[in-house]
Amino acid sequence: MAEGTRAGRAVTVMLICCFLWSAVEAPGESRQRLAARKHLRRLNKPAVKSIESPDGDIIDCVHIAHQPAFDHPFLQNHTIQSRPAFHPEGLYDAGKVASEVSKKKPNSIVQLWHQNGRCPEGTVPIRRTRKEDILRASSIKRYGRKKHRAIPRPNSANPDLINQSGHQHAIAYVEGDKYFGAKAIMNVWEPIIRQPNEFSLSQLWVLGGSFGEDLNSIEVGWQSDAYQATGCYNLLCSGFIQINSEIAMGASISPISEYGGSQYDISILVWKDPKEGNWWMQFGSDSVLGYWPSFLFSYLAESASMIEWGGEVINSEPEGQHTATQMGSGHFPEEGFGKASYFRNIQVVDESNNLRSPKRMGAFTEQSNCYDVQSGSNGDWGSYFYYGGPGRSPNCQ
């Protein structure tokens, strides 16, 4: 992570995970707002302490046993696992992540709410969902859900289907093996979002099953948008159990990378504990955030069949034109370090619980004239790629 500061700028780092619920969307604005309030009462749990972030978010410190995960019917009598039994082998090898950037003394990326306090021991920080978050979604019933066809499916960019879901991607991926986790370091930007119903995110996907109704997905990264949105699906994935009292999913982080200036990146690791079988998530070098119990999954209960890394945007085609919402830095990958977005030191976890560079990593984008991806490999960054773009331009209509 490069040194430097950038005051007053932040994006959201979030665990992207859906909430499934059974309320019926009510017609009419007043009934919609009533339904939104009812839904908020279910999402926002009583707080031991609440902290107001400088960006206006409220972080509720919720008792660890009262967090939303335990609304899941399969977790009513679940015993919380306080730590993973095993980390992937090679995670703390000094030579694994050597680069010109990481050799410098790193500056910490922090969440803005830390400026006004911390959560007490025995609680977990949860960003309070607001009525505006829910009402900005396409419907209250759809809040926190993601369509199956929104997951990037490499080698399936049929021109007639590109904008069917409104989602566009620039990703690297691996398939053809059993995967037990994935890791990457990604730099953080504040892409411009042109429409209130659009977003731009950068993340990794851990996928199991086919791209039909049986797909399981874990998705983790950072997102810049007008509302909190989207996530995994085809399982009751509100069952993420948080154990960390320092990091709030959905809360803003700072500082961020600057075009032609200082670069800031974050490390994300998702892996399957070979002893307990749960899928764990780690943010940074040592912040284990929590886990998904393996019994919540079907295909991911055993292993993943595909890993993806990269960017995603919503293209709502305002006025019949391609959106100008940016992906990553908003610049194409050929501009390189300090100007384009990157993923570096990309690794997968194999069946022996070893971190290793991926074999035969492919690249995919629906419209390379709008958002593109270019991959490579070297001794410092291992497997890496640059990605992103500006969206609408003379070559992207």
The pLDDT tens digits along the chain (397 residues) read 443 333 334 455 444 443 222 223 334 456 766 777 777 877 899 999 999 999 899 999 999 999 999 988 899 899 999 999 999 998 865 333 333 333 333 446 789 999 999 999 999 999 998 877 766 655 445 455 555 557 888 865 554 445 556 899 999 999 999 999 999 999 999 999 999 889 999 999 999 988 777 789 999 999 986 443 333 332 334 589 999 999 998 888 888 999 999 999 999 999 999 999 999 999 998 899 999 999 999 999 999 999 999 999 999 999 999 999 999 999 999 999 999 999 999 999 999 999 999 999 999 999 999 999 999 999 999 999 999 999 999 999 9
DSSP symbols for 233-258: -SS-GGG-EE--SS--TT-EEE----
Verdict on whether the full-model pTM lies above 0.95: no
What was the pLDDT predicted at 108? Answer: 60
Is the distance from CB of 95 to CB of 345 less than 8 angstroms? Answer: no
Q: How many domains does the chain have?
A: 1
Is residue 362 one of the residues assigned to a domain?
A: yes
Is residue 80 one of the residues assigned to a domain?
A: no
Is residue 191 one of the residues assigned to a domain?
A: yes
Tokens, residue 63: 């008792």
With tokens 């910490």, the residue in question is: 108
With tokens 């950038």, the residue in question is: 6
Tokens, residue 140: 């209250």
Cα 191 to chain centroid, rounded: 15
What was the pLDDT predicted at 113? Answer: 95
Q: Give the phi and the psi of residue 296 in degrees, each rounded to 5.
A: -75, -15
Q: Give the phi and the psi of residue 96 in degrees, each rounded to 5.
A: -70, -35
132 tagged catalytic? no
Is residue 17 one of the residues assigned to a domain?
A: no
Is residue 318 one of the residues assigned to a domain?
A: yes
Is residue 56 one of the residues assigned to a domain?
A: no
219 tagged catalytic? yes
Is the distance from CB of 188 to CB of 219 less than 8 angstroms? Answer: no
Q: Give the domain extent around 338.
A: 166-388
Tokens, residue 150: 């929104």
DSSP type of residue 140: T
What was the pLDDT predicted at 7? Answer: 35
Catalytic residue among 190, 258, 308, 312: 312
Is residue 287 one of the residues assigned to a domain?
A: yes
Catalytic residue among 198, 219, 258, 308: 219
DSSP symbols for 296-358: G-SGGGT-EEEEEEEEEEE---GGGS-----BTTSS-GGG-TTTSEEEEEEEEE-TTSBEEPP
Is residue 91 one of the residues assigned to a domain?
A: no
